[in-house]
Chains A and B, each alone.
Chain A
């Protein structure tokens, strides 16, 4: 253990010297001079993206023959446990894909390397990324990762059901929403809800106890953020999560503008336009939509392939989020980053890999695979074009990301997982009718803020 560490240090200083020398001589990788071959362990959780990043790793290896990147993919549920266990034993991967709800914990215990010195030294252009994304990973002037991709939310609907009810596709692009009568969004939801006798939700004889197709499927397993619906609508309604984001310490779940939004959802259920909480499928909204039992939902850009991919059993299309009471659309924008383990013996090589992952070279490769939107703006456009080439019209996600003031960042604070559970439980109780919206959210908010005292 000790000797490997010492060897690691020696190698590191050599590598540093090599890289510094390289900087002077025009930036091409020279630290092969240190002689040793280095393997960088890289972890990610999304099996859909492994191929894109393997392609990046291969390109990286070609440019840096002495550095090999070994990718390990672990499913989301085990990913964070494995990572934590590896931290405990000091054997964490050199570089891993990081997420906003987990990383505060990791930087709190000093596991993530501050890359700001490297960013300054190598003059990484932070303006090439979608706005807001680089700032997600900054605390107290330290930078804990570079952005790799982003996602936004849009409305996904079943095109044939829309046609049957005589709703035009271009109507979908201009839907409005407010918490009191639901605007034109609610009108469309009502039309798309059909009972077993074929009457839609606007028909006075509509039987809400025998619904065949629900007009709208809400996502209730949405933690403290409501990224897939209630959060976006509440923000359009003027709500903010926190006193400041990132790193706020005072949540605002007791705000009436959030309670109004949740109440609006509840009346959808009461009217029979959305499934009751306890009668909804546990298999996920994509399964219900693909089975033709739902017409519409809010879906993040990471689900593109479930709805527009070759395995979709119904025909779907995308529309932007509805215009809120203030006439503005809002969608959460969230992104991932690549982080470097503070205890890695190969800091310079790890940085080189992270820099490559965050560069146009790698992000263009990712874009061509048409799975996610890379963080670099030009690469995002490429990804949209790659989707288009496969017959998937995904421009609404990109438009949303580009619209000035159209996006907001998800809350980044300490205690993310506990907050998530508390708010999740509260919203479930409200939707089940066990407690009123204002009262339930107030209780949850007190519990949440007590975590920070």
Chain B
């Protein structure tokens, strides 16, 4: 990253030195035009599928809109109501709880797996197998686990009962439901996260490990003093991306809480709240306001993380 930055700087600074015609002739043509051409497809997609809906969503958030009749402008009413809505804050808290468990367990497990793959085996088969749960659609994952963990008919509770332990209402108990859903998604995404981290680890020059080994460092020490610091930018990126993904938890909850018959408010995350407001209660304006609040919160979180982890600087450069 740093190298790119300095390249940028020299380009920006260029006009002042570029007065000499000779220089200009030998220099290849400005890349910016080509860069824009390459960016156009992605940019067009971004504008059409993200930019435009966001602007529209912002407009809806200022209106009273039930999807069926024309939106009526109400100014900041939706936001004022949202700030006073205990359901909204409850859903934020529930989501934060989920993210904490999900990201915490997922990142730790993925780091462990990646380190094992990096230092012990580089089997392609193993790597491919790690990805399997990630390839299964979320709804299927949720359904499989609902069957496995069912309080009456599930395999896991059958084993628990056979062992003389009490059964657990994994998806129905308000205390267990959120951790259960978080762990189900950890199961589904750990392999993928581990692969990203593994790819990051491959970038670390092997000679660092060699010299550390010569100096008599053990694996744990090498992990702490070489792998972790060198991995920081990748780790930061993975953290930001999976955190945003984690905040967007919806499908597992929607399946587990099918028909509102599950653990109810204990698992009603922010995306579910938005979905309910928009498509079950037909409060599109209110839902848009909630969605924008969420986007704002995620933006702030991302900036904070990038800053804290100095994610745009690498120690490898």
Contacts and interface: CB of A to CB of B under 8 A. Distances in A.
Nearest to B279: A81
Contacts of A417: 280-281
B140 interface: no
B244 to A, nearest CB: 25
B169 A279 contact: yes
A306 to B, nearest CB: 15
Contacts of A277: 169, 172
Contact of B176 (A110, A111, A220, A278): A278
A221 B259 contact: yes
A453 B80 CA distance: 19
Contacts of A25: none
A293 B153 contact: yes
Given A88-B68, A280-B169, A421 B262 contact: no
Name the prevailing secondary structure of the B interface residues.
loop
Interface string B166-196: 0111011111100000000000000000000
B264 A425 contact: yes
Interface string B194-211: 000000000000000000
B167 A84 contact: no
Interface in A275-298: 275-283, 287-288, 291, 293
B146 A283 contact: yes
B147 interface: yes
A234 B258 CA distance: 25
A282 B67 contact: no
Contact of B282 (A105, A276, A291, A428): A105
B303 to A, nearest CB: 34
Given A278-B176, A420-B260, A421-B276, A288 B67 contact: no
Contacts of A293: 152-153
A220 B152 contact: no
Interface in A407-450: 415, 417-418, 420-421, 424-425, 428, 432
Interface in A190-242: 220-221, 223
B279 A281 contact: no
B153 A281 contact: yes
Nearest to B69: A109
Nearest to B175: A278
Interface in B105-159: 146-147, 150-153
A277 B173 CA distance: 8
A264 interface: no
Given A84-B279, A221-B260, A421-B276, A279 B167 contact: yes
Nearest to B261: A221
A281 B256 CA distance: 12
B215 to A, nearest CB: 55
Contact of A281 (B68, B152, B174, B258): B152
Most chain A CB within a 10 A radius of its CB, from B152, B259, B261: B152
Contacts of A45: none
Given A420-B260, A421-B276, A424-B264, A280 B152 contact: yes
B260 A282 contact: no
B265 interface: yes
23 contacts: A80-B279, A84-B282, A85-B67, A105-B66, A105-B282, A109-B66, A110-B68, A221-B259, A221-B261, A277-B172, A278-B263, A279-B167, A280-B151, A281-B150, A281-B152, A281-B153, A282-B262, A283-B146, A283-B150, A291-B153, A293-B152, A417-B281, A418-B281
Interface of B: 66-69, 146-147, 150-153, 167-169, 171-176, 256, 258-265, 276, 279-282
Given A278-B173, A287-B153, A428-B264, 19 more contacts: A84-B67, A84-B282, A109-B68, A109-B69, A110-B68, A110-B69, A221-B261, A221-B262, A277-B172, A278-B263, A279-B172, A281-B150, A281-B153, A283-B152, A288-B152, A417-B281, A421-B260, A421-B276, A424-B264
Interface of A: 77, 80-81, 84-85, 87-88, 105-106, 109-111, 220-221, 223, 275-283, 287-288, 291, 293, 415, 417-418, 420-421, 424-425, 428, 432
